[in-house]
Chain A
Amino acid sequence: MPLLERHEWYDIARSTNWTPTYVTDAELFPDVMTGALGVPMEKWEVYDEPYKTSYSEYVRIQREKDSGAYSVKAALERSRMFSEADPGWMSILKVHYGAIALGEYAAMSAEARMVRFGRAPGMRNMATFGMMDENRHAQLQLFFPHEHCPKDRQFDWAHKAYHSNEWAAIAARHTFDDLFMARSATDIAIMLTFAFETGFTNMQFLGLAADAAETGDYTFASLISSIQTDESRHAQIGGPALQVLIANGRKEEAQKLVDVAIARAWRLFAILTGPSMDYCTPIEHRKQSFKEFMQEWIVGQFERSLIDLGLDLPWYWEKMIAEFDYQHHAYQLGLWYWRPTLWWNPAAGVTPDCRDWLEEKYPGWNDTFGKCWDVITENLVAGRTELTFPETLPIVCNMSQLPICAIPGNGWNVKDYPLDYQGRTYHFNSEVDRWLFLQDPVRYRDHMTLVDRFLAGQIQPPNLMGALKYMGLAPGEIGDDAHKYAWVEAYRNKPYQKTAA
């Protein structure tokens, strides 16, 4: 029997809105869960998903993708990638798996909320596939690192990170809870799929897959490409939802969701992707700096999609772009200096060649961040390693949960952005982080940062060992310099000489 083409049946098959008779519409679709902002059901029916697929098509394609990724893994299992790859690359893998794998499960729950409470039939349909995508991503990104666990316990953090109180894990949970675990269906469509996935992860996965191939890690390259093709489909859930809200007079509310989500996503990208691109990736494999990457993909491409949808650029756009020059360099210093508190081994990334590269990409780096690295390097050369380890905690931002840090050295410009609210003083990394808090103080006010927990006596004994225990970092997992300080040899009897401009 001949089958109809998809376009001949799709529209009628996905017209699944109905008029409830046993309960009211408001009981079936409470606004708090739908986030429809009072836009009635029939207005959502114009939602037209740009990427259409049927269940049978989905299953066939996903099966092919899965078998492709698993075949590459099986074929290369005996390769020497693990023992021969640069330790900086291994660090990128560990950061990625720990920060992302269980976040995918969280995203699966978020997609499920759109499946149940999305007001547009097309949104519910797309999110059904998105939900299955995220489940696949979580399983892939737990299974792939698992083979490395017997050789390196840090890979166990692919599963462990989100179950711990390690500070970067707290930051990731706080952000993802805010963007999609504790949001309505429409909020999720905008904040997770439009802002986070279209704006950041889709581009990030493209870049990461290319980096993996360049480094020779074909298993990871094929894994990430496999995931990215799903992302580029389900990331399109948010665009039509934004169009419906804007067409029905809810631009202001939609704009605020976008502004909050981009600001929060930027922080995580600055600390995870920034150091990975500019410090952990071996210099010979770097195609562009993090700043160039952000300018091309976020400023160049994402800015256009915001405007095309009829949205404005977030009020802080220029401030965020200014941070491309320094924020991730500050985070890198923090990651490396507080390295015992990580589940991966950060690469310092400051050999003389690396410093020349940093100075070329970020003019003034040697006079600012380089000044801190000068002192660290001198200590390592002189054997004063103890001075390169922390004896106190960094102050953590009450919004991002990341250290409050900025430009050191001759451009010193570090500042606290405090806020007194209902008898408690909160500390923020920037005006934007403080603005985020003020958009919904009740939502954020009771969360305790790691420093708040320390001061409340929750971390015992109150020292580094107590903190490591609190974070769940066991021996064999605690981070140290990725290259075992081999890079320091380049400076023995030869202080760094800045290349003439």
Chain B
Amino acid sequence: MALFPLISNFQYDFVLQLLPVDTENTMDEVAAAAAHHSVGRRVAPQPDKIVRVRRQGGAEFFPRDARLHETDIKPMETLEFIFCES
């Protein structure tokens, strides 16, 4: 358990934001934390979709249940949060 700061680049939003999460968080939990600062604030909700996480410019999404400490994501790395079919 350790605080892990990331940068959220959320699909359809206009700005990068600081995203404080925890090393134990799964990608779904990281996505939910990112959504809290964008969806319903400046990005219209899409309730029939899920939000997946990938590196900026990456083609592959991280597995939804992967925990942050199990990945090679670095603190303050910019991640993209993308609406996907569930």
Contacts and interface: CB of A to CB of B under 8 A. Distances in A.
A355 interface: no
Contact of A334 (B15, B76, B77): B15
B78 A418 contact: yes
Interface in B18-74: 18-20, 36-37, 40-44, 56, 74
Nearest to A387: B41
Nearest to A376: B42
Nearest to B41: A387
8 contacts: A334-B15, A372-B14, A375-B40, A375-B43, A376-B42, A387-B40, A409-B12, A414-B9
Interface residues of A, number: 37
A215 to B, nearest CB: 29
B34 to A, nearest CB: 10
Nearest to B57: A415
B85 to A, nearest CB: 18
A201 to B, nearest CB: 27
Given A372-B42, A391-B37, A425 B76 contact: yes
A387 B15 CA distance: 16
Among A330, A416, A451, the most chain B Cβ lie within 10 Å of the Cβ of A416
A209 B65 CA distance: 59
Interface of A: 330, 333-334, 337, 369, 371-372, 374-376, 379, 387-388, 390-395, 403-410, 412, 414-416, 418, 425, 427, 451, 454-455
Contacts of A334: 14-15
B7 A388 contact: no
A392 B18 contact: yes
Contacts of B14: 330, 333-334, 369, 372, 405-408, 414
Contacts of A407: 14
Contact of A392 (B17, B40, B78): B17
A371 B18 CA distance: 22
Contacts of A391: 36-37
Given A392-B18, A403-B15, A416-B56, A374 B44 contact: yes
